[in-house]
């Protein structure tokens, strides 16, 4: 949690898109920016090098106001996937409330996916977050490409973990919103347990997810001025 100021009535939640280099983290955010209505979100900030590789992070903010008046900002970050940017990945992970791990579906990327997931677990521990408790969803991106790992193989790999799994093509624009909505749901469940979003702020799981992704059909929730 980046900030929770009960007097000012402000909560700032942090979600992080993690994964190996070139798996499509930045493309996921660009897709969310294009597909979700602008009423509940701010502008996408993309910090690229000349070769379109993230060196710091990208940021897409979303806003809602709970029935209690609590103004909630959800900051969605990407990390740079290249191995050499580990210090930046660690910095971006700090105080994360939820993580979407974006894997590359191509068979030749399986080792990079596994290495990056191990790196996520190590960095979570280093920044004081419990990998077993942190809300997590996994997305296998680039399903539009040839030479990809079959779905049932991926499902068997992750089934024991119980982590929600999604298949997507951020380039074609499918699977991306589903992944984000699930990340919002699992993050809400965790935050509700600690901050009583439902009881104290009248904010249900559905209102939270819907208020952030389709604000025009969520009467009673307004864009915050955060
Ligand atoms: N075919 C295909 N290409 C994709 C897809 N998603 C992303 N790409 C491409 O993969 C390349 C890398 O995408 P990025 O979104 O920049 O990857 P990233 O994970 O942010 O990479 P880093 O910032 O280096 O960690 C770009 O050329 C994208 O257009 C997809 O679903 N299908
Ligand atoms: Mg990137």
> pLDDT digits over 147-202, tens only?
999 999 999 999 999 999 999 999 999 999 999 999 999 999 999 999 999 999 99
* Residue owning tokens 């624009």: 173
Residue bearing the CA closest to ligand 1, atom 12 = 22
Protein residue whose Cα sits closest to atom 27 of ligand 1: 22
Q: Which residue has the tokens 């389709």?
A: 214
User: What confidence category does residue 216 fall into, taking pLDDT thresholds of 50, 70 and 90?
Assistant: low
Q: Which ligand is nearest to the CA of 83?
A: 1
Q: How many angstroms separate the Cα of 55 from the Cα of each of 80, 92, 123?
A: 5, 12, 17
Ligand 1 pocket mutation pick from 21, 23, 24 by most atoms within 8 angstroms of CB: 24
- pLDDT tens digit sequence for 109-131: 999 999 999 999 999 999 999 99
Atom of ligand 1 at shortest range from CA of 20: 25
Q: Could you tell me how many residues make up the chain?
A: 226
pLDDT band at 222 (very low <50, low <70, confident <90, very high): very low
Give the global pTM: 0.95
Q: Look at residue 16 and give its three-state secondary structure.
A: strand
For 46-66, write each residue's pLDDT tens digit.
876 656 777 788 999 999 999
Helix (H, G, I), strand (E, B) or coil at 184: helix
Matching CATH number, 3-217, of 3.65.10.10, 3.40.50.300, 1.10.579.10, 3.30.70.100: 3.40.50.300
Q: Which of 36, 19, 57, 13 is nearest to 176 (CA)?
A: 36
Residues by chain with Cβ below 5 Å of ion ligand 2? 25-26, 54
The count of other CB atoms within 10 Å of the CB of residue 35 is 13
Q: Which range has the worst mean pLDDT, 9-23, 101-115, 208-222?
A: 208-222
Q: Does residue 46 have its Cβ closer than 6 Å to ligand 1?
A: no
Nearest-CA residue for ligand 1 atom 21 is 22
Question: What's the CA-to-centroid distance between 178 and ligand 1, angstroms?
Answer: 18
Non-local (6+) Cβ contacts of 127 within 8 A are 90, 93, 94, 95, 96
Which of 17, 20, 21, 22, when mutated, tests ligand 1's pocket best, judged by the most ligand atoms within 8 Å of its CB? 22
Cα-Cα-Cα-Cα dihedral sign, residues 63, 66, 69, 70 = negative
Residues 70-97: tens digit of each pLDDT: 999 999 999 999 999 999 999 999 999 9
Any idea where the domains of the chain sit in the sequence? 3-217
Give me the DSSP letters along 59-92: EEEEEEE-TTS-EEEEEEEE---SGGGHHHHHHH
pLDDT score of 217 more than 90: no
Assign residue 52 a region: left if phi > 0, alpha if psi is -120 to 50, beta otherwise? left
Q: Is 116 near ligand 1, meaning CB less than 6 Å away?
A: no
Cα(104) to centroid(ligand 1), Å: 9
| Distance of alpha carbon 123 from alpha carbon 145, whole angstroms | 30
The most distant pair of C-alpha atoms in the chain lies apart, rounded to whole Å, by 54
């Amino acid at each position: 949690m980046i900030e929770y100021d009960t007097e000012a009535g402000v909560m700032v939640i942090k979600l992080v898109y993690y994964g190996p280099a070139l798996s499509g983290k930045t493309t996921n955010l660009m897709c969310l920016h294009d597909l979700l209505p602008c009423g509940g979100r701010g502008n996408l900030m993309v910090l690229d090098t000349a070769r379109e590789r993230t060196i710091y992070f990208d940021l897409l903010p979303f806003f809602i106001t709970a029935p209690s008046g609590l103004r909630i900002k959800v900051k969605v970050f990407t990390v740079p996937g290249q191995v050499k940017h580990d210090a930046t990945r660690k910095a971006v992970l700090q105080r994360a409330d939820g993580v979407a791990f974006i894997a590359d579906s191509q068979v030749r990327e399986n080792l990079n996916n596994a290495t990056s997931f191990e790196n996520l677990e190590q960095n979570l521990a280093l920044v004081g977050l419990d990998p077993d408790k942190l809300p997590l969803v996994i997305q296998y991106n680039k399903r539009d490409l040839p030479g990809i790992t079959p779905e049932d193989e991926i499902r068997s790999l992750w089934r024991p973990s119980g982590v929600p799994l999604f298949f997507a093509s951020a380039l074609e624009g499918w699977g991306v919103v589903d992944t984000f909505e699930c990340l919002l749901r699992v993050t809400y469940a965790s935050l509700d347990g600690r901050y009583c979003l439902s009881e104290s702020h009248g904010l249900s799981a559905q209102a939270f997810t819907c208020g952030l992704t389709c604000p025009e059909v969520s009467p009673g929730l307004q864009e915050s001025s955060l």
